[in-house]
Each structure stands twice: as C-alpha cells, then as structure tokens.
C-alpha cells in the first residue's frame, strides 16, 4: 500500500503529480472487468503498475498490455520489462496515442484545476468541445479530462474501468459530463466505498469506480457500496454481477434517478421534498478577506497596531474554533485568550480621512504586495472589506461533525470557513425553531444529497446547494415552521 508523506513539501509534490496508487484488491476487480474477451488492455496512467500486476495475476494467455505515463521514475520500474508490456512516455491529454482501444483501465492523476498549466487548460477545452460538443466548467480537474479522452478512444463494445474522486459526479461540471456519458455509453456499474473500505486511506477524497461500455445506453445500472476490503468485489464482477458477497451492498437503479441523484450518492427512492432550506432562509458564504494574515488579528496584535477599535469587527475564522452547537460571547473571548485571531480589520472604503495608524498599517500591506493578489485587486480601494449582517445561524462549509448548524448567539461575523444562514423571519423564537429543525438528524442526513463528499465523512456544501437542502415534512411540522418571504442578507 502506498505510504503518504507527512511533510507538507512532499505532499505538495504528490498533489502536483496526482499520484495515488490503486490497492491490489481494487485493481484486480477493475482489470477483471476489462480483460475479458480482449487481446489488449490499455492504461493511460500506468504509475506503479497496479493494473499491470493485476493483469498478470489473472494469467490470461495471449493478452498484451500497453501503457503511457509522463513520469520517468515510474517508467523505469522493472515490471515494465515484462514481454507482454509496452509502455511509452507520453502525455495522454496533450499527446494521446493513435487509434482506439478495446479495453481501458486507469487511476488517472488527481490534479485539481488550479494546478493545471494554461497549455493543459487550452487543450482540455478543445478536447471537451470535440467530444461533448460544449466545454466543461473550468473547475474540472485533470482526472475528468482523462475520462473524456479515454471514452473517446474506446472501441465500439469496448470496456472501460476508471477509479475517480467523487467530485466527478458532484462538481459544477458534473451535469454536462454525465448527460454526455449517459446519452452515449452504457454505464454498467458504479462502485462506491464505505469509509472503512476506502482505497486511499489518509487522502481527503472519496473514491468511485465506473464500469462503462461503448454500447447503447441502458435504462438501468448497478450501484455498489463496498463495506469492507475483500475479494467479494472481484467475485461480483467476474461472476457477471451475480455473486454478491457479504461485504457488498448492491442496488439496481434507473438511469433517470441516477442522473438526478448522482452516482456518488445512495439511490433516492423518496418522493421530491416539499420543503427546502431556501423556503425558510437565505444563504451566503462568509467573508473572504484575501489575506487573513493581514486583516485578521488577536487582541494583542490590535493593541500593538494602535488602530482604533471601531475599525474592527469580531469574527470566527476556522471551523475547528467552534466545537459546540452554539457560539457565545464567552467562546469568542476564550479564543482570544488562546491568541486565536477574532478581530477583523473592516474598512468600508469610504472617502474619509483614516487614522494615522491605519494609514501606516495599510502601507505595510502595500509593501507586502497585497493589492496585487487576485481577490484583493478586484476591490476599490484594495483594503475595502466585504460587508455582512451578523447571521443568526452558521453552517460549517466543509466539516466532519454530525451537527453542522451553529446558533450564532455571539452575533459575530464568519469568514469563508462558514456559510451564513439568514432566516427569513427575524424573530428569536422562529430562529431557534429553525435551528432545531436544521440540526434534526433527518435533516442532517440529507446533506449528502446536496454536498460534495470527501474522505473521513467530510461534506462540502456550496451556498446555492445549501438552499436546496431538503427538510422533511415531519421535521417542519414538528418545529411548527412556515415558509417566509426573503429578508436582506447585507
């Protein structure tokens, strides 16, 4: 099993390469799917050779392996000197091999969009224009373009097995991508993993395996949850999806339901919800400073700066700074005693004469090059801070806690680690009841239906998606809630 580095610099190098090796039991299952009735298996991101080793273990006579990779160190591995292997140094996106392939298997490099070069982004846009007919949202990572390229190079009736992060089904690009896949290919099976069976321990993402054929789309597909690592997954695939072991949870689901719900999520057999969070509250992200190290201070730093108190607002920045379901003034003061920064330099940019100490501090920021930062340079003047009303309820933007809605009794402002929830009715009793309804286990259970899933049970929910969070009828009725008109968030 791959040992992930603990040092930040080594982790950064790994992220830049996107290399996370596939464990044997998963690689064996994936290769079992693509290696039947074929003379060649192609891997466009060979890496450490997990899929080639799995192919060798199957002992299939007269089968060949062809692979590509860009990492010289990987390609030097002695395993690729095997007589049935041919591996080339080649960039699968910028310089794909000619021709099409009957069987493709891959764990593509997981490289997020902001790490892609301009050349790669331009080529990826051209690729999706050609294959799908429209460009994907620019927030798609390199792994998504590997999938598009591979499907485009799959022979008619050919088979593909890809292991991907769950954001393949949850990102802003997902609808366009899967509308194309579901309309042009047959998705035989989607395989997800319980936290105890994750293929990549210590990696903050959930994995999903797609088994796809280049044939006419079917009306149904299989969805699997692997509950623990075992040979049950390989047995299930080699038996033609018939042999279901005790470590697998298997569901047949309709293509239409899968398109709506998403393949990374459990099948939805419930009728559409009557109520959503947006019926009761508005949602905005927290304040983005663009430079927390400059705009955020603790009380000691405030005193040292000599900047008047009226230039500051009390804030909370990190989700781990809030361990309770209710945030009080005492909690904020405790954070300050721990020297956690809770004071935000909040200047509105109005044309008034600034205090000399403010002017001197801003000069330090200019010397640091802050006005040239991407977010800050959009402001005029550069130090003008975003404005928010204090939200009565906070939501942890990316969190692992079961209870994610926090009552903001301290009336402070949150930074981008939180979302701001503004109930439509500014009544304390109504706010308290809505907070209770949002923290009800049956409401919390629906977060997975609107959020992006990460490793260790983490869920990330964008503001627009949080507004769509279903609140079950019995919860709404139990807390005596009624939908209200929208109130201003600013």
224 three-state secondary structure? strand
DSSP code, position 424: S
Kindly report the pTM of this predicted structure: 0.79
Name which of 160, 163, 165 is nearest 186 in CA terms: 160
pLDDT at 203: 74
- Rounding to the nearest 10 degrees, give the CA dihedral for residues 9, 14, 15, 18: 170
Radius of gyration of the chain (CA): 26
Cα distance between residue 115 and residue 124, in whole Å? 13
Of 44, 39, 89, nearest in space to 64 by CA: 39
Domain with CATH 3.40.50.150 in the chain: 8-261
Q: What is the pLDDT of residue 455?
A: 64
What per-residue confidence (pLDDT) applies to 16?
Answer: 45
pLDDT digits (tens, 9 = 90+) for 227-244: 999 999 999 999 999 999
d(CA 283, CA 281): 7
**Within 10 Å of residue 207's Cβ, how many Cβ atoms?**
25
Superfamily of chain region 278-349+386-478: DNA methylase specificity domains (3.90.220.20)
Q: What is the pLDDT of residues 144-189, one digit of tens each?
A: 999 999 999 999 999 999 999 999 998 889 999 999 999 999 999 9
* b/e 361-398 (16+ beta carbons within 10 angstroms → b): bbeebeeeebeeeeebeeeeebbebbebebbbbbbbbb
The strands making up 154-165's β-sheet, listed across from edge to edge, are: 85-89, 64-69, 40-43, 101-106, 154-165, 207-213, 186-193, 220-226, 248-254
CATH of domain 8-261: 3.40.50.150
Q: What is the pLDDT of residue 29?
A: 97
What's the confidence (pLDDT) of residue 223?
A: 97
Residues 356/308, Cβ–Cβ less than 8 Å? no
Judge whether 450 and 313 are in contact, CB under 8 Å.
Answer: no
Domain limits, CATH 3.90.220.20, in the chain:
278-349+386-478
Q: Is the dihedral of CA 131, 136, 138, 139 positive or negative?
A: negative
Tokens of 343: 């004071």
Question: If 0-12 CB within 10 Å is exposed, 13-18 middle and 19+ buried, where does residue 191 land?
Answer: buried
| Residue 83 structure tokens | 């007589």
The residue ranges of the chain whose pLDDT is under 50 are 1-18
CA distances from 296 to 159, 312, 318 (A): 53, 9, 12
pLDDT at 269: 76
Which pLDDT does position 2 carry in this prediction?
A: 39
Residue 297: half-sphere exposure toward Cβ, Cα within 13 Å: 19
Q: Residue 453: name the closest of 221, 178, 257, 195 by CA.
A: 195
């Amino acid at each position: 099993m791959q040992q992930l580095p603990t040092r930040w610099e080594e982790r950064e190098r790994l992220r830049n390469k996107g290399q996370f090796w596939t464990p044997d039991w998963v690689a064996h299952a994936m290769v079992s799917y693509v290696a039947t009735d074929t003379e060649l298996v192609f891997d466009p991101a060979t890496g450490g050779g997990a899929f080639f080793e799995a192919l060798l273990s199957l002992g299939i006579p007269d089968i060949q392996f062809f692979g590509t990779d860009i990492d010289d160190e990987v390609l030097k591995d002695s395993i690729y000197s095997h007589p049935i292997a041919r591996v080339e140094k080649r960039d699968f996106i910028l310089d794909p091999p000619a021709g099409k392939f009957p069987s493709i298997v891959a764990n593509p490099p997981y490289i997020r969009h902001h790490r892609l070069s301009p050349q790669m982004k331009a080529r990826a846009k051209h690729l999706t224009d050609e294959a799908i007919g429209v460009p994907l949202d620019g927030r798609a990572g390199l792994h998504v373009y590997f999938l598009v390229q591979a499907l485009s190079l799959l022979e008619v009736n050919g088979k593909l097995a890809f292991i991907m992060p769950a954001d393949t089904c949850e990102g802003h690009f997902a609808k366009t991508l899967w509308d194309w896949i579901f309309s042009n290919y047959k998705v035989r099976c989607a395989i997800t993993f319980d936290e105890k069976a994750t293929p990549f321990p210590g990696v903050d993402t959930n994995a999903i395996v797609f088994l796809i054929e280049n044939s006419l789309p079917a009306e149904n597909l299989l969805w699997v949850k692997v509950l623990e690592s075992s040979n049950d997954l390989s047995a299930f695939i080699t038996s033609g999806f018939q042999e279901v072991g005790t470590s697998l949870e298997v569901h047949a689901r309709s293509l239409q339901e899968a398109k709506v719900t998403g393949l990374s999520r459990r099948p939805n057999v419930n009728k559409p919800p009557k109520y959503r969070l947006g019926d009761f509250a508005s949602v905005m992200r927290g304040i983005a400073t663009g430079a927390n190290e400059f705009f955020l201070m603790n009380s000691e730093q405030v005193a040292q700066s000599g900047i008047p108190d009226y230039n500051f607002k009390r804030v909370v920045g990190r989700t781990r700074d809030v361990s309770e379901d209710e945030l009080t003034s005492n909690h904020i003061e405790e954070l300050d005693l721990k020297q956690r920064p809770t004071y935000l330099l909040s200047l509105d940019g109005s044309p008034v004469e600034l205090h000399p100490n403010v002017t001197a501090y801003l000069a330090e920021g200019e010397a640091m090059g802050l006005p040239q930062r991407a977010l800050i340079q959009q402001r005029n003047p550069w130090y003008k801070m975003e404005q928010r009303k204090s939200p009565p309820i906070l939501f942890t933007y990316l969190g692992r806690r079961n209870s994610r809605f926090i009552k903001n009794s301290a009336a402070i402002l949150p930074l981008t680690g939180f979302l701001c929830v503004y109930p439509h009715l500014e009544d304390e009793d109504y706010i308290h009841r809505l907070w209770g309804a949002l923290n009800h286990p049956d409401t919390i259970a629906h977060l997975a239906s609107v959020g992006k899933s990460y490793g260790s049970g983490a869920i990330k929910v964008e503001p627009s998606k949080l507004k769509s969070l279903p609140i079950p009828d019995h919860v709404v009725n139990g807390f005596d809630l009624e939908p209200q008109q929208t109130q201003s968030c600013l």
